[in-house]
Structure 1
């Protein structure tokens, strides 16, 4: 091991030494001016030396001798002949030579209108962007080199020099190449004859006609010029062009500008005059015409053309939508860059069914620790809404803000949403992506939290705007928490870990019986201690003891109706209820590993056991304030909580067994995982969520199974199931398989989901099994054409959930997408499903403008109105 370490270090040192040697060789071949610059820059470096400790001298000597031997071998005659062998050495050293060449002058994308990775082939040959150097054009000399120079320097009348053959004119980071350059000392000009190319860090200009550069005014005039923005998709031409290097401005006459490849211009702008200033975000253009091919389609007398990708005010892509039976809807967002830390987006639009609609998004960052966003929507006149009065206007507002102090230890957040009073159908009529919704009610919350290493404290005020009529007191509405205070502390001592969780919550329901507000209180404390009994050789054993002490003050429950009692899960109320329970558990887990297959893969076997005990306590006199049922899987079997929330703590006397096996590749990335778990109940659960629920009496829990596989790159498989061995039936199972080819973009995915009694008929609320089949496909037809589709069907009730088709043509500088989507929409008035159909065309002139499809969330992929495109496979990759 010691020799291996020395050898590795020696190779690294030898490579470093040889690299410096090559660098010195390159410096010898550089020009005199470059050598002067390098010599001047040496003084900027600070060199310090440190004496090496005596115990490191032998290793340093060994390393040095190894480096010397390496250089001797590489300099030998045999090595020289090997490197000259075109069949062996050339191919063997090509990768390293290519890497070295790229490292010398790496190709850099422009920060303004960069070339997309998938479009690189279209823009092959575009020069690399370089970062401009700052220099004084009055003091930096102009250097001219050529194969031949002729003229009479001493003749003051002529004072003309003619440079011919590979002429290079340089000043700072600017370079001009031409076959012939004429210097006029009297006029102080440089004039190119024939073709010439100007290379600057940010652009490249070429012309076959004379260029005139005035050395005093620092101006250059060109005719019939072509220009390319280096590292960018943008290029253009100009009949006449003036470059003022002193002011940093450029003026183009009879100019064209396009984001297409030079030899394939599908669109371009033509301007009679186009001018840019130094460090400006925009260029001013007059008499502008947009051409699609050779056809003019748009004219404006004046326009500001963006020069950078930095934020600036202007029009954003327009969105259009066509719905069957309704008509065309559109929105035209306008972006306002108010300041570096303030901006707004105003979106006027029209909905075919709801009329005119106006959206506002205002974002602000006045301080580094304070940020916020305000979103608002206003409908001045909705003809399909039936308000209580003659005012048909509707509105929505959301305010979201965060504030932090003390290096993010102290945090505040506000999330407030509201609609017009008595507008109970707003959420179903008008989609709002910014609204926080709980049980179909708008959430309004304020949170404050403070965290340290050994404790944390949080305070939350949360209420809701009910989206149901308050006159219908049988309608279930969530409880407001005004406030909820939580405090936790934790510490460890040796093998012991301590934790204390506390909570105090005041619940309320406003405008209930006789417009009174009902109030309830809950106090909860949860101390726990864990002891790590053993840890070593991949095995750990720990045990814990947890207490649950909860007190309820709920005298106002008597004012609730019987339907509310059913929804809140209590038989009879008590003014005051105190519940005391405890949890005792023991947990053990081991991990075994072995090399398998090609001995580069590792297989693990991870058995896990947990025993948990909680005694029974009657809780039928406690309401469900914020507690609901929970979906079970492999991991929840090891949790003591059978319900999500603390208003129900189920009695447990159960042992849970689990087994997980993983397959890791040579880089310890998971390629396969299978997990099985099942619990055995020594006593039945007697705590019900709702008092009409039927509890299972089976001693064994359902068998939970989980499989995730990535058999090869691009392929993923996921499956999970919940099987009841006593009844020989599946409660739930799901599976998905997906293949993606990153090289071509091809994707095929299929999924199926089953849930016993997981759905219902909307006509009579009768429970029915959920059986859902899904299919996704993305098919590249050619390098430019791609078809994609997704469809989800309810097999049990035989109706379409969501179906989407798309066909996209993607060229180097524009893209067109045809879209169709048909999704199920719920008609609550008639209690039936009704299809909602959208048809749209998305058109994009890349880096210029786009027309999007309104109402379709993923216009370029297989994500649908209800279901996004995702891979549920969960492996540590």
Structure 2
């Protein structure tokens, strides 16, 4: 197995190099520009018409500069010969060697025992003879090339003959690949495109082991189709699953952009095939219609647990496909979407699908010359499922409001009417037949809010001012009692419960004006703090002494806190605290999410979070990234379940980053899988970031 892996790595490395390097244009001289020649000693031979310069010679023409110990220059023919510590510089790079002959008019020349360095790709090419046939064509004899600096590079290719055509191809004969000075493999011929932008070619392979997939090896080929299109082809080997084949197509047209992915695994055993499709698109259609598509499909319920690499992928239990269209006219908006859910852990036949859903909304608009404002929300749903109740629903909610100012208070009273129309082809009891139903109900409410601000001068450090804004608000909502038991039930919009409620909240914001000594002033909101709660008038009328009554008029108190002491650190809290817990509840905290993090902007950051949901989950998560050990870069992630006392996930990413190559090692341990992955990357060559089977990931 390891022998096969080693051979595969060598083959992928060979073909990667075939497509991996770009060479920038060499020196480009302009015959119309004057030549300036300086030296310690300058002589002119009238018989030959040639200048001879000796001692710290500098010849300049346009953006080109030639340095040498001796230079012979013929103004009539435009020929120049240089000897001794020769250096030819231009914006693309430099050529150095023992002797150089150059035709200034055509740009043709020959360099003996020299080196070409091209800055844009950090590419070093050396050879016994480097011939420049034209501004884009080179021929190198007995040469070497690498993207590593230093006299003894970490890797290099040595060829007996190399021909390079910029923007097209490079052809090499008798190529040997070296790690330091150790030859690793030989090939009689190499061919690779030489481009200055994106480059087609094989990506560096990925190797590893997974408890779910067994030994695994991934190779990929990247193909540039056009300036706005490219594709990646995947071929994966899994010892316990089979062979995976994948294709990614990316595009960016004038009005549409996106990517499409398809992946198929052929199992070694009959019946173990798996197919996955993913398409993401966004753009504009004629008529100023915004379009978004997110289509996802898998035919294997274990697909994500086998191929997912991060939380949210490997524990995914359903796929969701949406096609969304929207059109706006000022403060009016029309949207339509097709949405399909496919459950992976249970039967989808009874899953409710919306095919389609259409929504129209009109924001507040004045009613004639009156003080009234009107708005309208309309939603049409076509509900479908293979088993169970299906049907259609039209929901209309017009509303009138009359905003006004009462002293320092902003008051927004509103009255609305929600009308629902149904056509159901099967009732909730499962009896066949179709029926029409409708129900209308009024609602009313009023919202009052205000804001108070004060600015304080001075502060710590470079803080010149601090603004404190307090925003209280209170709202009243009323929906009368009404019977709805005879209506079909598709979602929560079909049961508008009796509501008699008061909501209130208080928001605090602190914003600092920072005036650094060496930059422009800026504003930084370093504190957001909000408390909110609801009081249910209906619940308050229950008898608190009657054990049959659920006397809980106050909802949980919600606390939202975002503290950012600096632009590089934060504390985020979102929690709900029950003052009146139900019988049997030992914890007054209903749910909590607490997060904090800090980074220094140089590759070092730390974050931690605590997640709690009463009677459901309680876990902590920590993540650390550091470049303090440069050239070793580390990332460690740990999630721990506090309820059962076990690790949920541990991930260690290690990158050794050398000047011209990197090696990546990933160790991952979670409940369903344990794996390690290894990837090598050479400077200028792409690598496979994950296996082709991961939807939503890139190669």
Tell me, yes or no, whether TM beats 0.5: yes
Partner SS for 2:117: strand
**Size of the alignment, in residue pairs?**
650
Partner SS for 1:167: strand
* Structure 2 contact 207–216 (Cα < 8 Å) conserved: yes
Query: Counterpart in 1 of 2:254?
Result: 368
Query: Counterpart in 1 of 2:525?
Result: 670
Query: Counterpart in 2 of 1:592?
Result: 453
- From 547, 563, 568, the equivalent of 1:709 is 563
- From 51, 57, 70, the equivalent of 1:180 is 70
* Structure 2 contact 127–141 (Cα < 8 Å) conserved: yes
Partner SS for 1:668: strand
1:607 Cα deviation after fit: 2.0
- From 421, 424, 436, the equivalent of 1:554 is 424
Taking a change above 3 Å as real, the CA distance of residues 438 and 814 of structure 1, as seen in their structure-2 partners, is closer
- From 247, 263, 271, the equivalent of 1:377 is 263
Larger relative contact order (Cα-Cα within 8 Å, sequence gap ≥ 6): 2
Query: Counterpart in 1 of 2:536?
Result: 681
* Structure 1 contact 589–609 (Cα < 8 Å) conserved: no
* Structure 1 contact 361–376 (Cα < 8 Å) conserved: yes
Taking a change above 3 Å as real, the CA distance of residues 740 and 823 of structure 1, as seen in their structure-2 partners, is same
Report Cα offsets for 1:26-69 as digits up to 9, x if no partner.
xxxxxxxxxxxxxxxxxxxxxxxxxxxxxxxxxxxxxxxxxxxx
Taking a change above 3 Å as real, the CA distance of residues 164 and 417 of structure 1, as seen in their structure-2 partners, is same
Structure number with the higher helix fraction is 1
Report Cα offsets for 1:636-667 as digits up to 9, x if no partner.
xxxxxxxxxx2333433222222222221213
Taking a change above 3 Å as real, the CA distance of residues 611 and 144 of structure 1, as seen in their structure-2 partners, is same
Taking a change above 3 Å as real, the CA distance of residues 578 and 682 of structure 1, as seen in their structure-2 partners, is same
For the pair 1:337 / 2:224, whether they are aligned, the reply is: yes
1:496 Cα deviation after fit: 5.0
Partner SS for 1:600: strand
RMSD over equivalenced CA pairs, Å: 3.9
1:162 Cα deviation after fit: 0.7
- From 356, 360, 378, the equivalent of 1:502 is 378
Taking a change above 3 Å as real, the CA distance of residues 719 and 456 of structure 1, as seen in their structure-2 partners, is closer
Query: Counterpart in 2 of 1:43?
Result: none
Q: How does 1:608-619 map to 2 (within 5 A)?
A: 608-619=473-484
Report Cα offsets for 1:342-387 as digits up to 9, x if no partner.
432211111232211111123345x52244543212223353xxxx
* Structure 1 contact 609–657 (Cα < 8 Å) conserved: yes
Structure 1: gaps (5+ residues): 1-111, 115-128, 384-389, 562-572, 628-645, 687-693, 759-769, 826-835, 858-864, 867-877
1:792 Cα deviation after fit: 0.8
Report Cα offsets for 1:565-602 as digits up to 9, x if no partner.
xxxxxxxx986242423232223121322316525222
Deviates most, 581-590 or 280-289: 280-289
CA distance in 1, matches of 2:213, 2:255: 46
* Structure 2 contact 94–116 (Cα < 8 Å) conserved: yes
CA distance in 2, matches of 1:188, 1:668: 61
Query: Counterpart in 2 of 1:393?
Result: 273
Taking a change above 3 Å as real, the CA distance of residues 424 and 577 of structure 1, as seen in their structure-2 partners, is farther
4+ residue runs of structure 1 moved beyond 6 angstroms?
A: 129-135, 435-439
- From 595, 601, 613, the equivalent of 1:736 is 595
Partner SS for 2:539: coil
Partner SS for 2:494: coil
- TM-score, normalised on structure 1? 0.67
- From 164, 167, 172, the equivalent of 1:276 is 164
Query: Counterpart in 1 of 2:109?
Result: 220
For the pair 1:843 / 2:683, whether they are aligned, the reply is: no
Taking a change above 3 Å as real, the CA distance of residues 753 and 740 of structure 1, as seen in their structure-2 partners, is same
1:540 Cα deviation after fit: 3.4
1:735 Cα deviation after fit: 1.7
* Structure 2 contact 277–297 (Cα < 8 Å) conserved: yes
Query: Counterpart in 2 of 1:521?
Result: 392
* Structure 1 contact 449–458 (Cα < 8 Å) conserved: yes
Taking a change above 3 Å as real, the CA distance of residues 697 and 310 of structure 1, as seen in their structure-2 partners, is farther
Structure number with the higher strand fraction is 2
Structure 2: gaps (5+ residues): 1-19, 514-521, 542-547, 582-586
* Structure 2 contact 308–314 (Cα < 8 Å) conserved: no
1:852 Cα deviation after fit: 5.3
Query: Counterpart in 1 of 2:350?
Result: 477
1:217 Cα deviation after fit: 5.0
Query: Counterpart in 2 of 1:749?
Result: 607
Partner SS for 2:426: helix
* Structure 1 contact 142–171 (Cα < 8 Å) conserved: yes
For the pair 1:347 / 2:225, whether they are aligned, the reply is: no
